[in-house]
């Protein structure tokens, strides 16, 4: 799905050739094309506007990593923004409390409601080991109840016996009752479809909702209908209230805008994607996967991520090389502090080394808290480059200046210098051992 959007975006970034940080002009040019691509993918205009504004803000000034092109870097920023937009905290079905849990399926006729009902029932049965009962409340289309029964037989999911002439609210009550008596975990209620949003049927769905008190009310919407699907979603949300969306026919959707608009305009999580007519054509919605598909640039995203990791690794290697020479100035200390803080403090770093359990325990007593590391970093960054390379020049007046600049005291500065001396001494020892072919911690 989403092919044409990926294709379009693919060509967008070639214009960006310069390295360095991303300039507003570069990003603007790229954003113009992204905007057109999104609009042509049938993403709603306000959604596009929001999205572009957000991405621009994030992209400008972003440092272009050494091993990727500016275009690739922008793709990563766009990707992350897409994920942010598509993602929701309640992505999964919430089936908590006393069973049976009702799941109310609503939507227009032909959206794939009955098919999705059976697909979700099958998934809950097989994957989540739930005992599921399905019931069709569609008393208007002659074959509707029969259709669900056949799907139930196909998937091995129980269906509520059909009672001719019974009205939707009564069927819902009977289904919930059967669910309770039969020890079912989930009761899925497939409501009648409609061609348009129509008040009478809306009122009926609302009455069913009141009778069944569903944990989830899922709107089934056809992604191929683009903006219409979004309008329908808004009406259902206003009239009945929704907890999530099932987007069907994404297997045939070349435009890809529906998922974005739907999520943004309704604020509801997309919970499932229908990816085919068969009963296994259902996917749990995962924002990063869909963002990757929209961009069609999964490789680029992981490339940029890897490049970012490499930079960190290069930094670590630089320190290691200096360590081998027995050099360790305050700049090195600052970058080590930064890395340590990122990796969850000294414990996080030590945890990566094999066979250091004992040392770790000894160090646990030392007061290494992230706040202190931040303070130490601040002290170092208040020094001049010369002072950092050669701390010996730091006499009383300079120390006072550094303390004032970092919002600390001269005592703090002294403490830091002492710690640096200790570390530098340790580094020298490490270097010596390295020369003799012995590494500390048995890492050699």
Structure tokens belonging to residue 265: 């305009």
Under the binding rule (CB under 6 A), the answer on residue 112 touching ligand GDP is yes
Output the smallest distance, CB 278 to ligand GDP, in A.
8
Q: How many residues are given for the chain?
A: 444
Under the binding rule (CB under 6 A), the answer on residue 72 touching ligand GDP is no
Structure tokens belonging to residue 443: 């890492």
Output the smallest distance, CB 190 to ligand GDP, in A.
7
Task: Choose between 278 and 321: whose C-beta lies nearer to ligand GDP.
Answer: 278
Under the binding rule (CB under 6 A), the answer on residue 275 touching ligand GDP is yes
Task: Choose between 144 and 403: whose C-beta lies nearer to ligand GDP.
Answer: 144
Q: What are phi and psi of 139, to 5 degrees?
A: -100, 5
- Residue 109's nearest CA partner among 149, 148, 140 is 140
Output the smallest distance, CB 118 to ligand GDP, in A.
8
Task: Choose between 6 and 275: whose C-beta lies nearer to ligand GDP.
Answer: 275
Task: Choose between 47 and 220: whose C-beta lies nearer to ligand GDP.
Answer: 220
Ligand-binding site membership of 114 (annotated): yes
Is residue 100 reached through a cis peptide bond, with omega within 30 degrees of 0 on the bond before it?
A: yes
Under the binding rule (CB under 6 A), the answer on residue 228 touching ligand GDP is no
Output the smallest distance, CB 224 to ligand GDP, in A.
9
Ligand-binding site membership of 250 (annotated): yes
Task: Choose between 147 and 335: whose C-beta lies nearer to ligand GDP.
Answer: 147
Ligand-binding site membership of 310 (annotated): no
110-118, 263-271, 362-370, 418-426 -> range binding ligand GDP (CB under 6 A)? 110-118
Q: Tell me the C-alpha to C-alpha distance, in Å, between residue 371 and each of 18, 334, 344, 368.
A: 38, 14, 12, 9
Under the binding rule (CB under 6 A), the answer on residue 88 touching ligand GDP is no
Measure the CA–CA gap between 399 and 385, rounded to whole angstroms: 14
Please pick, from the candidates 281, 292, 296, 391, the single residue that binds ligand GDP as defined by CB under 6 A.
281
Q: Rg of the Cα trace of the chain?
A: 30
Q: What are phi and psi of 350, to 5 degrees?
A: -65, -35
Please pick, from the candidates 69, 114, 217, 406, the single residue that binds ligand GDP as defined by CB under 6 A.
114
Output the smallest distance, CB 347 to ligand GDP, in A.
48
Q: Is the dihedral of CA 374, 379, 382, 387 positive or negative?
A: negative
Q: Which of residues 229-258 bind ligand GDP (CB under 6 A)?
A: 248-249, 251-252
In order, the DSSP letters of 45-74 are: HHHHHHHHHHHHHHHTTPBPPTTS-HHHHH
Please pick, from the candidates 69, 115, 191, 217, the single residue that binds ligand GDP as defined by CB under 6 A.
115
The answer to whether residues 148 and 190 touch, using CB atoms and an 8 Å cutoff, is: yes
Please pick, from the candidates 10, 84, 99, 110, the single residue that binds ligand GDP as defined by CB under 6 A.
110
The answer to whether residues 259 and 290 touch, using CB atoms and an 8 Å cutoff, is: yes
Task: Choose between 248 and 261: whose C-beta lies nearer to ligand GDP.
Answer: 248
Ligand-binding site membership of 193 (annotated): yes
The answer to whether residues 185 and 130 touch, using CB atoms and an 8 Å cutoff, is: yes
Size of the site for ligand GDP (CB under 6 A): 18
* Site pattern 179..218 for ligand GDP (x: CB under 6 A): --------------x-------------------------
Output the smallest distance, CB 254 to ligand GDP, in A.
13
Output the smallest distance, CB 177 to ligand GDP, in A.
24
Measure the CA–CA gap between 126 and 34, rounded to whole angstroms: 41
H helix runs in 267-389, sequence order = 287-295, 298-325, 330-342, 345-352, 357-364, 370-381, 385-389
Other residues' Cβ atoms within 10 Å of the Cβ of residue 187: 30
3-state helix, strand, coil in the chain (%, to 5): 60, 10, 30
Q: What are phi and psi of 283, to 5 degrees?
A: -125, 140
Please pick, from the candidates 277, 280, 309, 369, the single residue that binds ligand GDP as defined by CB under 6 A.
277
Task: Choose between 161 and 252: whose C-beta lies nearer to ligand GDP.
Answer: 252
Ligand-binding site membership of 159 (annotated): no
Other residues' Cβ atoms within 10 Å of the Cβ of residue 11: 10
In order, the DSSP letters of 177-199 are: HHHHHTT-SEEEEE----SS--H
Please return the burial class of 361, using the count of CB atoms within 10 Å of its CB with bins 0-12, 13-18 and 19+: exposed
Task: Choose between 273 and 346: whose C-beta lies nearer to ligand GDP.
Answer: 273
* Element spanning 432, H or E: helix 410-435
Task: Choose between 71 and 281: whose C-beta lies nearer to ligand GDP.
Answer: 281
Please pick, from the candidates 113, 215, 375, 399, the single residue that binds ligand GDP as defined by CB under 6 A.
113
Residues comprising the binding site for GTP? 107-114, 190-194, 248-251
Q: Which residues bind ligand GDP (CB under 6 A)?
A: 107, 109-115, 193, 248-249, 251-252, 274-277, 281
């Amino acid at each position: 799905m989403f092919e044409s959007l990926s294709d379009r975006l693919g060509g967008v970034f070639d214009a960006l050739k310069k390295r360095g940080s991303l300039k507003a002009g570069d990003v603007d040019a790229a954003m113009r094309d992204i905007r057109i691509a999104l609009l042509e993918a049938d993403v709603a205009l306000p959604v596009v506007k929001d999205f572009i504004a957000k991405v621009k803000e994030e992209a400008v000034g972003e440092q272009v990593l050494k091993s990727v092109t500016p275009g690739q870097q922008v793709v990563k920023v766009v990707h992350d923004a897409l994920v942010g937009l598509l993602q929701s905290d309640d992505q999964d079905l919430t089936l908590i409390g006393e069973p049976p849990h009702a799941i109310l399926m609503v939507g227009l006729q032909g959206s794939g409601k009955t098919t999705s009902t059976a697909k979700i029932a099958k998934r809950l049965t097989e994957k989540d080991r739930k005992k599921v009962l399905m019931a069709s409340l569609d008393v208007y289309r002659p074959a509707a109840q029969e259709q669900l029964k056949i799907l139930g037989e196909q998937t091995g999911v129980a269906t509520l016996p059909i009672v001719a002439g019974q009205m939707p609210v009564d069927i819902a009550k009977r289904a919930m009752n059967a669910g309770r008596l039969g020890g079912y975990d989930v009761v899925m209620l497939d409501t009648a479809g409609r061609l348009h949003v129509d008040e009478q049927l809306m009122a009926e769905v609302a009455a069913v909702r009141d009778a069944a008190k569903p944990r989830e009310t899922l709107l089934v919407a056809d992604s191929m209908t683009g903006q219409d699907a979004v309008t329908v979603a808004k009406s259902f949300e206003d009239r009945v209230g929704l907890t999530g969306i099932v987007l069907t026919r994404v297997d045939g959707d070349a435009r890809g805008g529906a998922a974005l608009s739907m999520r943004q305009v309704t604020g509801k999580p997309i919970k499932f994607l229908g990816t085919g007519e068969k009963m296994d054509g259902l996917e749990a919605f995962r924002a990063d996967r869909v963002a990757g598909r929209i961009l069609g640039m999964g490789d680029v995203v992981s490339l940029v991520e890897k490049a970012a990791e490499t930079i960190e690794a290069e930094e670590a290697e630089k320190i290691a090389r200096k360590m081998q020479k027995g050099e360790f100035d305050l700049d090195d200390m600052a970058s080590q502090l930064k890395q340590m803080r990122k990796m969850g403090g000294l414990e996080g770093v030590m945890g990566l080394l094999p066979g250091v359990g004992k040392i770790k325990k000894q160090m646990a007593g030392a007061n290494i808290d992230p706040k202190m590391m931040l303070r130490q970093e601040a002290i170092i960054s208040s020094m001049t480059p010369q002072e950092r390379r050669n701390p010996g020049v730091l006499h009383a007046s300079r120390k006072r200046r550094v303390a004032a600049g970092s919002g600390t005291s001269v005592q703090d500065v002294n403490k830091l210098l002492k710690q640096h001396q200790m570390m530098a001494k340790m580094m020298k020892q490490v270097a010596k051992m390295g020369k003799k072919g012995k590494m500390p911690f048995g890492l050699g």
